[in-house]
């Protein structure tokens, strides 16, 4: 009877360890899935930031070209009419100031976008580090699974031994 109680205690302890290992594995897999989702979101954010930078550069080039065209028109008008030149020059200066203001704003946006890209790349690197750690954890989980299987086999073997001892004790 004492052997039976000891065997039951061992079986319960083995079952509790097995349940604990299974719970740990589920929690780990959940954590890995969350990390992978964060990584995908960060990649999408990085792509958006790159698209915004490309758009900002395109706007800047368009503004530069528009400024060049306005300046050329003002120069041609200067040759044709001095009075009209003064009016056009004022208009060109206003456009130039606006374009310069736009250029400064675009440069600020570009700088901010660069900062965002650097931050996104840093976050991406962190996500990659998390993925690396997750892969290491997967290896540990596999090892735990093998240990769990081995423990289950040991418990099963011990159960058979205990059962044989009970039968032997019953025969006595």
What's the whole-number mean pLDDT along residues 49-54?
A: 90
Task: In whole angstroms, give the CA distance from residue 57 to residue 45.
Answer: 19
| Percent of the chain as helix, strand, coil, to the nearest 5 | 100, 0, 0
Q: Are 72 and 95 in contact (CB under 8 A)?
A: no
Sort 157 into a burial class: Cβ within 10 Å, 0-12 / 13-18 / 19+. exposed
- What share of the chain has pLDDT > 90, as a percent? 60
Torsion of CA 74, 80, 81, 86, to 10 degrees: 10
Is the per-residue pLDDT at 82 higher than 80? no
Confidence of residue 84 (pLDDT cuts 50, 70, 90): low
Q: Over range 99-111, report the average pLDDT.
A: 94
């Amino acid at each position: 009877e004492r052997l039976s109680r000891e065997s039951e205690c061992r079986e319960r302890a083995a079952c509790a360890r097995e349940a604990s290992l299974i719970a740990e594995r589920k929690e780990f897999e959940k954590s890995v899935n969350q990390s992978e989702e964060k990584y995908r979101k960060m990649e999408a954010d990085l792509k958006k930031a790159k698209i915004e930078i490309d758009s900002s550069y395109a706007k800047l080039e368009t503004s530069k070209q528009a400024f060049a065209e306005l300046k050329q028109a003002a120069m041609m008008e200067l040759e044709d009419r001095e009075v009209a030149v003064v009016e056009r020059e004022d208009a060109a200066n206003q456009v130039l100031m606006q374009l310069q203001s736009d250029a400064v704003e675009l440069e600020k946006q570009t700088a901010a976008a660069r900062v965002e890209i650097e931050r996104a790349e840093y976050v991406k690197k962190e996500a990659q580090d998390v993925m690396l750690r997750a892969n290491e954890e997967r290896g540990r989980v596999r090892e735990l699974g093998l240990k769990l299987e081995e423990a289950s086999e040991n418990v099963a073997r011990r159960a058979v031994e205990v059962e044989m001892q009970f039968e032997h004790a019953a025969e006595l």
